[in-house]
Structure 1
Amino acid sequence: MKLYGQYHNSLPQKTLITIIEILLLRISFWILFQNGGDWLAHTFSIHNATEQTGRRMVIFIFNIVTFGRLGYMMFVLLKRKIPWQESISIPFAFALYYVGFSLLVLPTAKALDFLDFGAVILFIVGSILNTGGEIMRDKWKKKPENKGRLYTGGFFRYARHINYFGDLLWVIGYAIISGNYYAVIIPVILFCFFAFYNAPLLDQYLKNKYGKAYERYANKTKMLIPFLY
């Protein structure tokens, strides 16, 4: 968590991340709508449900929205330094979404239904919690009277890491739209990473930075899932 105290625009790293993500989006499009799906089906002996394009369109729209959100947060909201190794690891993680869910949806022939409508709602709510929460925090932090103070307002009054909870929701939305039972592995892995590694590590950093103020906040606010955990 030493990086949280280092401020830098990291423009070369952010540019590299953006280029890699654009390439991942191109691969996703090739898999979903061009001959990539047929090539993968032939190479790995899987069914390619070309008769069902609705789910594929939703998956790709999710990809575009996620790419746009990440770009805005990275270029506008993110103030800390991004090391070069992170400029590789971030796109690798998002490859699970852009490419992973594109692969998982290939054999799904079932048409979109009411459950998938719920998945779209989850994706929207999760995106709002994640990006919207960061936007509200950024506006609050820019006010001179809030310099050096702990932010506990907005969505963060419901969970200390509500942005991570938002990530879980929109990834679950992806998994449901894919219509593939194996897709559940991705949000489960993400939950374990947040719950048992990233959130506790960030908690310790914030406790060291804000002291008693963060302890009081932590005592009355759940870590990851509002009102539950």
Structure 2
Amino acid sequence: MDLYGQKNKSLPQKIVIHLLEVVFLWLSWWILFGPGGEWVQQHLHIRNTAVTARRYIVFIFNVIIFMRMAYTMFFLVKRRIPWGESIDVPFAFAMYYIGFTLFALPGGYAVDIFDYLAIGLFFTGCVLNTAGETLRDVWKKQQANKGKLYTGGFFKYSRHINYFGDLLWVTAYAIISRNWYASVIPLFLFCFFAFYNAPKLEKYLRSKYCKEFDEYAKSTSMLIPFIY
């Protein structure tokens, strides 16, 4: 977590991340709308039967996540990004761009109420994450708040509301795919946040803000608002 204290634009790393993500985004399009679907069916034995509307929903999700990622990286992330991370991050997001594309491919179900609920869940998660991070960034840029712990906005409901937002939009992907195997991804992400990433970040925040963080932790859930 010492990276959080190292300020650096890391522009070359960010460019590499997004060039790789463009490749994965194109592969998603190729599978959903191009000859890739037939190639997958022939070589990976995954049925290519998803209805057109479901294909568009998955790809629109991919584009939105790509745009959010670009905004976050270029405007919100201030810490140094190691070169190793510039490779790890896009391949992790390939799990969403390509993974959910493949999970959704056999889904020949017509779009229904569950899909509309998933779309709502997706946008809720995106707002909690990106809007929450943006509000925090605006707050931290104010001179009067220098060195203080941010506990406002959506973060008053959860110490890691941005992670909770990620869980929501990833769960929405799984619902849209209509594939039980897709539930593995949000379950893995929950375990990663709850038992590794959030506790590790908590340790860093506690060492930096001391009693201020301890008071915040007493009154606020770690990950899921009002629950956990």
TM more than 0.5: yes
Q: Does 2:20 correspond to 1:20?
A: yes
Hey, what does 1:40 align to over in structure 2? Answer: 40
Aligned counterparts, 1:35-114, within 5 A = 35-49=35-49, 52-114=51-113
1:125-144 pair list within 5 angstroms: 125-144=124-143
Structure 1 residue ranges, 4+ long, deviating more than 6 angstroms after superposition: none
1:11 match: 11
The alignment-based identity, stated in percent, is 58
1:45 shift after superposition = 2.2
The equivalent residue for 1:183 is 182
In 2, distance between residues paired with 1:63 and 1:45? 23
**Shift of residue 48, structure 1, vs aligned partner:** 1.0
* Separation in 2, partners of 1:159, 1:117: 26
Paired residue total: 228
User: How far apart are the structure 2 equivalents of 1:120 and 1:83?
Assistant: 34
In structure 2, what is the Cα distance between the partners aligned to 1:85 and 1:68?
22
Q: CA deviation at 1:162?
A: 0.2
Question: Match for residue 2 of structure 1?
Answer: 2
TM-score scaled by length of structure 1:
0.99
Amino acid at match of 1:74: M
In structure 1, what residue type is equivalent to 2:202?
D
Deviation at 1:47, TM superposition (A): 1.5
| AA of the residue aligned to 1:183 | A
- The unaligned stretches of length 5 or more in structure 2 are none
CA distance in 2: counterparts of 1:5 and 1:13, whole angstroms: 18
Structure 1: where are the runs of 5+ without partners?
Answer: none
Say which SS state the counterpart of residue 107 (structure 1) adopts: coil
Tell me the TM-score normalized by structure 2. Answer: 0.99
Cα deviation for residue 74 of structure 1 reads 0.3
Deviations 1:198-227 (A, max 9, x none): 000000000000000000000110000000
1:201: which partner in 2? 200
CA distance in 2, matches of 1:104, 1:18: 23
List per-residue Cα deviations over 1:174-198 (Å, max 9, x = no partner). Answer: 1100111110000000000000000
